[in-house]
Amino acid sequence: MSSAESFVPTPLLLSDSAQKRINALMAEENNSTLKLRVYVTGGGCSGFQYGFDFADNVADDDTVIEFGDAALVVDPLSYQYLVGSTVDYEEGLAGARFRVQNPNATTTCGCGASFMV
């Protein structure tokens, strides 16, 4: 007789550089309740694309994941596509941006802004 295995998915992670950037933005805006909203929408080269926004308000069905003073907010539809991902912040010659490293993505576009599962 076989038994079912239990699996608990890893929630979203926030890199140190992303935490520092969120904390810096909270200080610049003088708003300690500011959170980074991460969401997934249809579109982009690969089918879905990531979006980022800053939120003061959190809906009842949103998931809030706290990392010290920094926090991520994810709506329930987007959460299923982002489980196990890491949100990072990078600065380089192409500019500065938040970026999602998603282990669930089977295909991504060249710039990393869209994906397919």
Instruction: Return binding residues for iron-sulfur cluster.
Output: 45, 109, 111
**Domains in the chain: boundaries:** 14-99
> Taking all residues of the chain, what is their mean pLDDT, rounded to a whole number?
84
What CATH class has 14-99? Answer: mainly beta
Contact 36, 54 (CB under 8 A): yes
Choose between 67 and 7: higher pLDDT.
Answer: 67
Whole-angstrom distance, CA of residue 18 vs CA of residue 24: 10
Phi-psi region of 14 (alpha: psi -120 to 50; beta: other; left: phi over 0): beta
Q: Which of 23-27, 75-79, 96-100, 104-108 has the lowest mean pLDDT?
A: 104-108
Instruction: Give yes or no for residue 10 having a pLDDT over 80.
Output: no
Instruction: Return binding residues.
Output: 45, 109, 111
